[in-house]
Homo-oligomer: A and B are copies of this chain.
Amino acid sequence: MGSSSKNIEQAQDSYLEWMSLQSQRIPELKQLLAQRRSHGDEDNDNKLRKLTGKIIGDFKNYAAKRADLAHRCSSNYYAPTWNSPLENALIWMGGCRPSSFFRLVYALCGSQTEIRVTQFLRNIDGYESSGGGGGASLSDLSAEQLAKINVLHVKIIDEEEKMTKKVSSLQEDAADIPIATVAYEMENVGEPNVVVDQALDKQEEAMARLLVEADNLRVDTLAKILGILSPVQGADFLLAGKKLHLSMHEWGTMRDRRRRDCMVDTEVIFDACTTVNSGPRPTETTNNERN
């Protein structure tokens, strides 16, 4: 059997396992963050360090599985069928942009600072976050931490641009020798062709290498950000990242289903009307045929 067939099915299975693992980590993070808030001691910090380290390990394991499976079916990872159209429109090299991690840090820092200022103005003792969040830790980012994050952010954008250039040249390769010239010389469009198949295999292998490079950049960026943040801030950041990823999948799926459900309603209503009028479905029929 072609090993690639196993790969596509396994790719989807490992994605589903990954999403459920991320769901499991959320209550673990929330519980340790709550514990740390009530007992701000070194022991709880160590527990947080251990959990965030385990979570980086999760990312590394998942990246390794993707690397193994992408070898023969890499194109399936670039706009995966298990994603919603919205997620696939926002995807970069098979996943999220590493630079979006920094937008998340700044967003959390900004919004948590805003919450603290509001609390301060209302002179409410202590801080109780309004919902599922871990606390206001990212509003405590020091100037030194922010400077380090900013330097790293600039570096990662640079790495992203280099990779985007590599993928754009891959995209252009499809319009070059031999693929374009074989297509041009062929009598019948799109006939199977060994030269093209080999060239496309080479392209998919290059895409697989780029996917691995992008995954490594994602994991490496996460680990470096955690290295700048305190244990509490790191856990808060990972909690926000996981909730965002899982929520975007839900929201994207919901929006797509809403659009497609409207299509079903249209069909159902249409059929109901035509059955009642027992007339033919007036798509092709001309007016005089109906009168």
Using a CB–CB cutoff of 8 Å, the interface residues on chain A facing chain B are 1-2, 4-9, 23, 26, 73-79, 81, 84-86, 88-92, 96-97, 99-101, 103-104, 106-108, 110-111, 129-133, 160, 164, 168, 170-177, 179-181, 183-193, 196-197, 200, 203-204, 207, 239-240, 243-244, 246-252, 254-255, 258-263, 265-266, 269
Contact = CB atoms under 8 A, between A and B. Distances in A.
A128 B216 CA distance: 51
Nearest to A94: B89
Contacts of A130: 185
A80 to B, nearest CB: 8
8 contacts: A5-B260, A23-B189, A75-B90, A89-B204, A96-B175, A97-B168, A104-B175, A200-B251
Task: Specify how many copies of this chain sit in the oligomer.
Answer: 2
A176 B103 contact: yes
B89 A175 contact: no
Contacts of A248: 174, 179, 183
A47 B45 CA distance: 78
Given A5-B260, A90-B174, A179 B244 contact: yes
Given A23-B189, A79-B91, A189-B23, A243 B107 contact: no
Given A8-B260, A79-B79, A86 B204 contact: yes
Contacts of A26: 189
Given A79-B79, A181-B111, A186-B243, A168 B258 contact: no
B89 A8 contact: no
A113 to B, nearest CB: 12
Nearest to A80: B85
A81 B111 CA distance: 37
A154 B177 CA distance: 20
B164 A250 contact: no
B108 A180 contact: yes
Contact of A240 (B86, B184, B263): B184
A85 B90 contact: no
A249 B181 contact: no
Contacts of A86: 75, 200, 204
B74 A78 contact: no
Given A107-B181, A184-B132, A174 B85 contact: no
Given A175-B103, A196-B251, A1 B262 contact: yes
